[in-house]
Amino acid sequence: MTTAQATSTSPADLDRNDPLTLIDVDHVRFYVGNAKQAAYFYAHTFGFQVDQVADLTTGSRDEANYLLTQGNIRLLLTTPLSADHASADEIRLYGDGVKDIALTVFDAEKAFERAVANGAEVAAEPQTLSDENGSITFASIKTYGRVQHTFVSRTGDYELTNVKKGGLIGPGFKKIEGFALNEYNKKNPCGLKYVDHCVGNVEEGKMNHWVDWYESVLEFKMFKHFDDKDISTEYSALMSKVMASGNHLIKMPINEPADGKKKSQILEYLEWHNMTPGVQHLALRTDDELASVAALRSRGVDFLALPDTYYESVWDRVNTTLKAHGHEAVKEDHQRVKDLGILVDADDEGYLLQLFTKPLQDRPTLFFEIISRRGSQSFGKGNFKALFEALELEQERRGNL
């Protein structure tokens, strides 16, 4: 089964008896300095619908929340309305970024209890919000650095199947009506479907600790393993291991810096993130990389630029690998792939197309990856060298190498 199918697995096919069975990525919560403006940014540049809001007008007096949706992606942008809100300190320390990868489960309380029994540190005890339409129960555990996982279970109108059809994500939210960008985005889709993977940066020497954590606490399994021989240039390096949930609903690669002559991109991230681990990138899946990247470029998304020399060797490299494993060559138009600056990589299962944005905020921290898979379930290992050289150029421009 591919991950594309895994995300659309019906809850009926999942093991209800296992409290850590994940149904979906419920939402990804960002802490941002100004959620109203951030909502415009993600709507304009990435084509998200600014679908729902909970703010002063709905009686939320300590924080404002905007729900952004596209395909099966739900981003919740949270901003503090007072100095003593927990997010205010985090924004001061880390800038805008991902706080929470929330996971839909059958019973949030049971999932939480199991994770805590497995050794998780508590971030928030179980709580239920309900009204006449239904309820949501949530409980949170701490993972690496400033990040947490919230288990969410839902009933009535707030069940995820209803949310996916446009229903409210929870009590206290209201639909946003008459927002012109939403109409434009419906007519001009960017084609982003769901979160393919979510990458964390942790401190040097801590990767294996967090790999063990995902294994023991969330009962994930190791998916792929890269070492610093795979992922290094002359100057900087990292190590990465990929953890996957049982049904491959989500993959969580974990990076740590490795020694190099110059500063690792992971160390650069940490230094601008108060030396605290956090989410480095969210990879958003599309079925049509070329159409999505063309749409995003036309909206002004700032992508990482690769040297032209990349395309001198990529087709030989990729098509040789594909042929060796009995797969068709890359079907996308090679010239258009080059014109759009998209990266290609292949492995024994097929190929993938991917492209990385520059940081989404002024600090060199969180970015997005736009990825399309044609059989390959890996992460673009063959691109690491070219990519890291491009990243180092950016680091140098920022004075951080």
Q: How far is the CB of 253 from Fe ion (least distance, A)?
A: 7
The yes or no reply on residue 289 touching Fe ion (CB under 5 A) is no
Of the pair 224, 334, the CB lying nearest Fe ion is at: 224
User: CB of residue 211 vs Fe ion: minimum separation in angstroms?
Assistant: 17
Q: Which is nearer to Fe ion, 26 or 345 (CB)?
A: 345
- Cα atoms found within 13 Å of the Cα of residue 241, Cβ hemisphere only: 16
Choosing from 26, 55, 347, 369, the residue that interacts with Fe ion (CB under 5 A) is: 369
Rounded to a whole number of angstroms, the minimum distance from the CB of residue 258 to Fe ion is 17
- Judge contact between 337 and 290, C-beta under 8 A: yes
Q: Which of 66, 14, 58, 15 is nearest to 40 (CA)?
A: 66
- Closer to Fe ion at the Cβ: 65 or 354? 354
The two structure tokens encoding residue 209: 């600790």
- CA–chain centroid gap for 109, Å, is 25
Residue (109 or 369) nearer to Fe ion, CB: 369
In angstroms, give the least distance from the CB of 194 to Fe ion. 14
- 50 vs 199 by CB, closer to Fe ion: 199
- Strand pairing category for 134-142 and 121-131: antiparallel
Q: Which is nearer to Fe ion, 91 or 192 (CB)?
A: 192
Near Fe ion by CB under 5 A: residue from 243, 283, 322, 337? 283
Check residue 345 for interaction with Fe ion (CB under 5 A): no
| Least spacing, CB of residue 371 vs Fe ion, in Å | 7
Cβ at position 136, least distance to Fe ion in Å: 30
Q: Least CB distance from residue 369 to Fe ion, whole Å?
A: 4
User: Applying CB under 5 A, which part among 144-152, 208-216, 218-226, 363-371 lies near Fe ion?
Assistant: 363-371
Nearer to Fe ion, 106 or 144 (CB): 144
* Part in contact with Fe ion (CB under 5 A); list of ranges 88-96, 170-178, 283-291, 335-343: 283-291
Measured from the CB atom, the residue of 157 and 230 that comes closer to Fe ion is 230
3-state SS track over the chain: CCHHHHCCCCHHHCCCCCCCCCCEEEEEEEECCCHHHHHHHHHHHHCCEEEEEECHHHCCCCEEEEEEEECCEEEEEEEECCCCCHHHHHHHHHCCEEEEEEEECCCHHHHHHHHHHCCCEEEEEEEEEEECCEEEEEEEEECCCCCEEEEEEEEECCCHHHHHCCCCCCCCCEECCCCHHHHHHHHCCCCEEEEEEEEEECCCCCHHHHHHHHHHCCCCEEEEEECCCCCECCCCEEEEEEEECCCCCCEEEEEEEECCCCCCHHHHHHHCCCCCCEEEEEEEEECCHHHHHHHHHHCCCCECCCCCCHHHHHHHHHHHHHHHCCCCCCCCCHHHHHHCCCEEEEECCEEEEEEEECCCCCCCCCEEEEEEEEECCCCCHHHHHHHHHHHHHHHHHCCCC
> Residue 137 or 240: which CB sits closer to Fe ion?
240
Beta carbon nearer to Fe ion, 71 or 170: 71
Residue 240: CB minimum distance to Fe ion, A: 9
Q: How far apart are CB 356 and Fe ion at their closest, in Å?
A: 8
Minimal distance in Å, beta carbon 200 to Fe ion? 11
User: Cβ closer to Fe ion: 158 or 367?
Assistant: 367
- Whole-number minimum distance, CB 241 to Fe ion, in Å? 13
Q: How far apart are CA 217 and CA 52, in angstroms?
A: 33
- 130 vs 145, 157, 189, 234, 367, CA distance in Å? 31, 10, 34, 56, 35
Site of interaction with Fe ion (CB under 5 A): 283, 369
